[in-house]
Structure 1
Amino acid sequence: MTTLLHIDSSIRSTGSVSRQLTAEFVSKWTIARPGDTVVARDLARDPVPHLTEQMMGAFFTPADSRSPEQAKTVALSDTLVDELFAADVIVIGVPMYNFSISSTLKAWIDHVTRAGVTFRYTETAPVGLVSGKKVYVFTASGGVYSEGPAQSMNFQETYLRVALGFIGLTDVTVVRSEGLAMGEPSVQAALTHSGRMIDELVSV
């Protein structure tokens, strides 16, 4: 049985294309694989707090040396890390905000990127410890950033690939929905393309 971790990061509760696509993917996945388990995390409804000095201090304190307050501080991060390790498949909805990802998704990444837990340093280079998982990223953007002059402004996908790869998540498939602010024909073309990709990915 497969465990699928479904993460949404759009601040919009309605009208969100990234939410629409992750929901469609998860629905079709579970229809094709009814025995699988889905764990959902909505970073807009239940935002992860941004890092503080106290949190960082707790992260770098050995578990058996933490104060009760530090243990409480680390609890949510530990839960997020446990969800990540338990998942076989990870689905992330990622709208583009000002050329990058939402601050809530960045906060989630900050909580699951922990030295000695999800990556470790070696004498030559850092090594990711979260391996053997498949990641599907559904991006949404008002403009087109996968090609042309605007490609250099796409910090959304490039950052995600680096951040996920750093902790060992290197098997990443990105489904782009672009041009969503460029008129209804562009929207329909993007949704049709993404829908076809979802069908192909789910059927594998």
Structure 2
Amino acid sequence: MTHILQLDASARPGRAGTHEHGSHSRSLTHRFVRQWVSRRPDDTVTYRDVGGTPPSFIDQPWIEAAFTPPERHRPWMDDTLAESDQLIDELVAADILVIGAPLYNFGMPAALKAWVDQVVRMGRTVEYDPSTPEAPFTPLLADRPRHAVILSSRGGAGFEPGGELAHMNHLEPGLTTVLQFIGITDIHSIAVENQEEGGDALAASVADAQERVDALVTRLQETRYSASATAQMCHNEGFRPGLHRLDS
């Protein structure tokens, strides 16, 4: 089975197309998860609304606790890190991370940045070894394949890679840097644009984004379950992964 962690970071609680003043990024995450589960009803989903209930900002006690070795923890330190531990456990359990994140002032919403600061933690999602200065960081979520799907919304247009405003978009690049740092390297991005213009331009962008979400669900399911079937076949036939080529 596949487990999905769905995060919504928009300050708007509803979904565009369903609720007045609803969020386009929430509509996209809902569509992705609905499409996925409709085809794979036994797969599971953990939902966290970071836009509605933001994680705590890290502070000095958090930093002291996070950088104190576990064997030297005082009781208050475990309490201080309890929220971080829960958020990290949710992330570690996920095979697919689905993030709904509008572009706010050229970057991610503060609530999502608070989540990032809680889950990027030495000893839990990344390790640091100063004895290897050429590559001191080891991503701990590279232990198995995970995908991240960033579903965004933007007021204007041209923020996509190669667009005339791409240099002002720090949302997808920022999230990609963070996710790769902790070991999630298969990253997919889809966005709705033209919210400020509205009308036909927005409608066309929404339709395009919905079509791309549906296609991504299909592609990820085909890739994931064909790979699982191949691995199971190799196991049943006694093949050792990496030593047998199906096209040989």
TM-score with structure 2 length normalisation?
A: 0.79
Letter in 1 for 2:63: M
User: What is the CA deviation profile of residues 106-147 of structure 1, one whole-angstrom value per residue up to 9, with x for unaligned ones?
Assistant: 111111101122112241222211121011110110011114
What letter is aligned with 1:138?
L
Q: Identify which of structures 1 and 2 has the higher relative contact order when contacts are C-alpha pairs closer than 8 Å and 6+ apart.
A: 1
**Cα RMSD for the two superposed structures:** 1.1
How far apart, CA to CA, are the structure 1 residues paired with 2:56 and 2:80? 10
Which one is further off, 116-125 or 9-18? 116-125
- Residue 63 of structure 1, CA deviation: 2.2
1:135 aligns with one of 148, 151, 157: 148
Out of 45, 58, 71, which is 2:52 matched to?
45
For residues 29-78 of structure 1, what are the alpha-carbon distances to aligned partners after superposition, in whole Å with 9 as ceiling and x for unaligned?
A: 10010000100011022210111011010111122322221111100100
Unmatched runs of 5 consecutive residues or more in structure 2 = 15-21, 220-248
Matches within 5 A, 1:93-112: 93-112=100-119
Q: Is the 8 A contact 1:5 1:39 kept in 2?
A: yes
Alpha-carbon distance between aligned partners in 2 of 1:150 and 1:105, rounded to the nearest angstrom:
22
Q: Take 1:171 and 1:199, find their aligned partners in 2: how far apart are those partners?
A: 18
Instruction: Percent identity, please.
Output: 38
Verify the 8 A CA contact 1:180 1:190 in the aligned structure 2. no
Distance in 2 (alpha carbons) for counterparts of 1:104 and 1:44: 6
Q: Which amino acid aligns with 2:141?
A: V
Q: What letter matches 1:183 in structure 2?
A: G
Contact 1:3 1:37 in 2 (8 A): yes
Q: How does 1:82-101 map to 2 (within 5 A)?
A: 82-101=89-108
Shift of 1:183: 2.2
Return closer, same or farther for 1:24/1:103 CA change in 2, 3 Å cut-off: same
Q: Which aligned pairs between 1:6-25 and structure 2 lie closer than 5 A?
A: 6-14=6-14, 15-25=22-32
Alpha-carbon distance, 1:105 to partner: 0.5
Whether the 8 Å CA contact 2:65–2:73 is kept in 1: the answer is yes
> Partners in 2 of 1:181 and 1:85 — Cα distance?
37
Within 1, Cα distance between the matches of 2:148 and 2:173? 15
Structure 2 distance, partners of 1:183, 1:11, is 19
Q: TM-score, normalised by structure 1?
A: 0.96
Task: Tell me the CA shift for residue 19 of structure 1.
Answer: 0.4
For the 8 Å contact 2:62–2:77, the answer to whether it is kept is: yes
Q: Deviations over 1:65-116 (max 9, x none)?
A: 2222111110010011111111111100010100000011011111110112
**Who is 1:179 aligned against?**
194
- Residue 92 of structure 2 contacts residue 141 of structure 2 at CA under 8 Å; is this kept in 1? yes
Matched, 1:59 2:103: no
Q: SS state of the match for residue 81, structure 1?
A: helix
Task: Tell me, in whole angstroms, the C-alpha distance in 1 between the residues paired with 2:73 and 2:64.
Answer: 10
- The one-letter amino acid of 2:140's match is L
2: CA distance, partners of 1:174 / 1:86: 21
Aligned residue in 2 for 1:164: 179
Contact 2:51-2:112 within 8 A present in 1 as well = no
Structure 2 CA distance, aligned partners of 1:148 and 1:104?
27
Amino acid aligned to 2:100:
G
Amino acid aligned to 1:172: I
State the 1:167 CA deviation: 0.6
Contact 1:32/1:202 (<8 A) preserved: no
CA distance in 1, matches of 2:80, 2:206: 41
